[in-house]
Structure 1
Amino acid sequence: MADEYNIPEQPVDDISLLEPEATYSYADYLKWSFEERVELIKGKIFKMSPAPRTNHQTISMNLGSEIKNFLKGKSCKVFAAPFDVRLPKNSDDPDNKILTVVQPDICVICDHTKLDVLGCKGAPDLIIEILSPSTAKKDLENKFELYEENGVKEYWVVYPGENLIDIFDLKKDKYVLRGKFIGNVSVNSSVLPQFKVSLEDVFED
């Protein structure tokens, strides 16, 4: 439990001052000013990868720009990391009760009431994670379960080295694999009707 550890009440500028096994909240997260990027998943600290590799950035830019162009004039909005997504148990939870803060590579939010100056409070409609060697386990296990239980309607997992995308749709509170997409094909989104992008454009360098 949190009270078993010495959780600093003042701003923290050195990550080594934190207890790796302690349970932290978004209120704690807001006090951290160290350079390392981290996420909180159910109160536990997960370090993010260092600066993303070139192919990771290229894919993120390609996908993000395709979605942004499609959404021009529409109500949904697209955001790219670093962008904080808070996933509270209850929509009115205060900062000290929110134990999960993640930074998806790309997310689409259609409910504007979830947006504020700090990012998003509540589940995005679509989340895209681009795997890297240091975050693959987190994205495929921890975040998969997290997004599923918080009601993210659609989850894309992008494999840069294989030019492959897995797409999951939320059905009856469980993710169902729509397909593994590779090669000269196009993919669409269940939450963004009429949006379509070719994998050649996604992985174009």
Structure 2
Amino acid sequence: MRNYIGDVFYTEDEFEDIQANFNGKAEYDNGAIYLSSNTSQKHNIILNNINAYLTLYFREKNCRAYTEQIEVIFKSENDIKKYKPDIFVMCGNAEKKGESFLTSPKIIFEILSKSTSKLDKGAKYYTYEKYGVLEYNLVDQNGFIIQHTLIDGLYEITNTFKKGDKYISSIFTDLIIDIDLIFSE
């Protein structure tokens, strides 16, 4: 379940206090806080399956896959968002502040649920686009992935993968994952 702590502006320090005492996922969006309870088993299986493939693929490369417990901070002069993408890929010498990343990921996968879908398809979509995430994948737990690729600064749907297909990254074109294996329990 996802809750929005609404109509109140929270400072970053207040957010850090709430996050430290919350047993779940807390995300910050320009003063708004979104809280999520722990994920479902199905969500966890999909996350682990994708992460396993990404971890193996990037083992010999200068990139690494991370999961939802690691924060990515998207910040500009009048904008600050602290998100914990379900799965993301960082490459090179990504800038960090403590355990949080300050550099935009190359690829993000968000696994949709009733409680996260609106944020994943709305505010996160536009944030990831604005801050240059090259590939954004919306993973529907019913067995398909909608791939968005950053082209001339805007996202375009470049592929929709369903059961029986093979996911092919638009950024790392030799990264290929059997969709059936992503959704296998």
TM-score (norm 1): 0.81
Measure the CA separation in 1 of the matches of 2:150 and 2:114.
Answer: 26
Residue identity matched to 1:140: K
Number of corresponding residues: 179
State the 1:116 CA deviation. Answer: 4.4
**Residue 81 in structure 1 maps to residue 62 in structure 2:** no
Q: Which residue of 2 aligns with 1:130?
A: 111
Partner of 2:43: 56
CA RMSD after TM alignment: 1.8
Taking the aligned partners of 2:95 and 2:50, their CA distance within structure 1 comes to 23
One-letter amino acid of the structure 2 residue matched with residue 109 of structure 1: M
Tell me which residue corresponds to 1:100: 81
Matched, 1:68 2:55: yes
1:204 aligns with 2:184: yes
Shift of 1:178: 0.7
User: Structure 2 vs 1, CA of residues 59 and 76 (structure 1 numbering), >3 Å: closer, same or farther?
Assistant: same
**Which of the two has higher C-alpha Rg?**
1
Residues 85 and 108 of structure 2 are in contact (CA less than 8 Å); yes or no, is this contact kept in structure 1?
yes
> Alignment partner of 2:80: what SS?
coil
What corresponds to 1:178 in structure 2? 158
After superposition, the Cα gap between the structure-2 partners of 1:25 and 1:101, relative to the gap in structure 1 and judged at 3 Å, is: farther
Matched residue, 1:29? 15
Mapped to 1, the partners of 2:97 and 2:56 lie a distance apart of 23
CA contact (8 A) 2:109 2:137 kept: yes
SS of equivalent residue, structure 2 residue 170: coil
Structure 1 residues without counterparts, runs of 5 or longer? 1-18, 91-96
Identify if the C-alpha distance between structure 1 residues 149 and 98 changes in structure 2 by more than 3 Å, giving closer, same or farther: closer
Report if aligned partners of 1:25, 1:98 keep a CA contact under 8 Å in 2. Answer: no
Runs of 4+ in structure 1 deviating by more than 6 angstroms, as ranges, are none
- The farther-off stretch of 115-124 and 62-71 is 115-124
- Quote how far apart the aligned CAs of 1:54 are: 0.9
| Structure 2 residue ranges without an equivalent (≥5) | none
Paired with 2:100 and 2:8, the residues of 1 have a C-alpha distance of 25
> Cα offset for 1:105?
0.2
Secondary structure (helix, strand or coil) at the match of 2:123 reads helix
Alpha carbons 2:72, 2:83 under 8 Å: kept? yes
The CA distance in 1 between the partners of 2:15 and 2:170, in whole Å, is 33
Q: Which residue of 2 aligns with 1:191?
A: 171
The question of whether the paired residues in 2 share the 8 Å contact of 1:26 and 1:98 is answered with no
- With over 3 angstroms needed to count, the CA separation of the structure-2 counterparts of 1:26 and 1:126, relative to structure 1, is farther
Q: Measure how far apart 1:112 and its partner are.
A: 1.9
Deviation at 1:21, TM superposition (A): 2.5
- Structure 1 residue 113 displacement after superposition: 3.2
Counterpart code for 1:117: G
Q: Helix, strand or coil for the counterpart of 1:73? A: coil
